[in-house]
Amino acid sequence: MWLLLVLQLPTRPVAARMKVWRRLQRLGAIAVKNAVYALPNRPESREDFEWVSAEVIAAGGQATVFEATTIDDRSNDELRGAFRRARQADYRDFVRSVAKDVRKARQSRRPDPRTISNMTRTWRDRLAEIEKADHFGAAGKDEARAALANLEMVSATPGASLARHAAGQKLDPKAFQGRRWMTRPCPGVDRMASAWLIRRFIDPQAVFAFAESRPSSASGVMTFDMFKGDFTHEGDRCTFEVLSARFGLLDEGIREISEIVHDLDLKDGRFGRADATVVGRLIEGLREVHSQDDELLERGIAMFEALYRARSSPSQTRASKTRSTSSRRRRRA
């Protein structure tokens, strides 16, 4: 079940000890005892530990790699939980640090594109490093990706998205019929809700596809909630908010869903929606149950459709009850 690395390093030089420690951190190894580190027993983990072992020996120390079914009195679930907590902390620090850089970039009167581009590349590499070390699917990855997408938007060329081109003008859904709509894989709250909004109010025949980045040439394809997408985050608004504003979709049910999506996606607590927690847990459950992107998105669309119907305005509900009562009276007559 587990690979263990037991090591002993001389106290000097300190640089060698720090080098080994940083490497173990990048691998996502956790310390289970003093100078004993663990990784899940996989071929790539063994190769990583063997490299660390070679470094330790080259620095004048000792190292041994071996397999273990259990580790003392700690259950396998406890160990997996320890791995997840470590990566969750990394994702949380990542989101906090990237958000700080986004604020600085937006507050700058004359941001240097090269500086922002280098900063974005650095954070992109850091997120890839964290995800590689995330051996058991820790919470927070989607939030980290959203934070990175926010930073990438700052570095995007102005006017890249259709939504920006049409700023201040309401878009006509008739111009967006029968399209292929592309977004990033492993949809979360913003992509699920946006897909529901598209199919429900904009393009009933919408077909959804998934890709990590915008295709260089794809005639008729609309992109949403992705870097340089036609519809994506703008300032402090999530994709769902941008779509609903651009198409003038502002009824009470959409407004309430918009607030829930905003609070879950941007995590700034702007609207303080208590019900956002429940919706967030449901989405987590859907992502656990459905591994295929298309099936996951369809289940998310169905969930938001149910949420929208349950949030009909009071006047609509009363009118519906009145019509139902009148109908029953006519049938009795």
- Tens of pLDDT along the chain (333 residues) come to 899 999 999 888 888 889 899 999 999 999 998 889 999 999 889 999 999 999 899 889 999 999 988 887 788 999 999 999 999 999 999 999 999 988 887 777 666 767 777 888 889 889 989 998 999 999 998 888 888 877 776 655 333 344 344 344 578 888 888 889 999 999 999 999 999 999 999 999 999 999 987 766 555 688 999 887 889 988 788 999 999 988 989 888 999 999 999 999 988 888 888 899 999 999 999 999 999 999 999 999 999 999 999 986 554 444 444 444 444 444 444
Residues 6+ apart with CB under 8 A from 153: 227, 232, 233, 234
DSSP calls for 145-169: HHHHHHHHHHHSPTT-SHHHHTTTS
| pLDDT value for 328 | 44
CB-based contact 193:231 (threshold 8 Å):
no
Q: Which helix (H) or strand (E) holds 65?
A: strand 62-68
Residues 6+ apart with CB under 8 A from 86: 28, 30, 138
| pLDDT value for 295 | 96
CATH tag, 2-68: 3.30.70.240
- Map tokens 């500086």 to a residue: 115
Q: Would the pTM of this model clear 0.85, i.e. be above it?
A: no
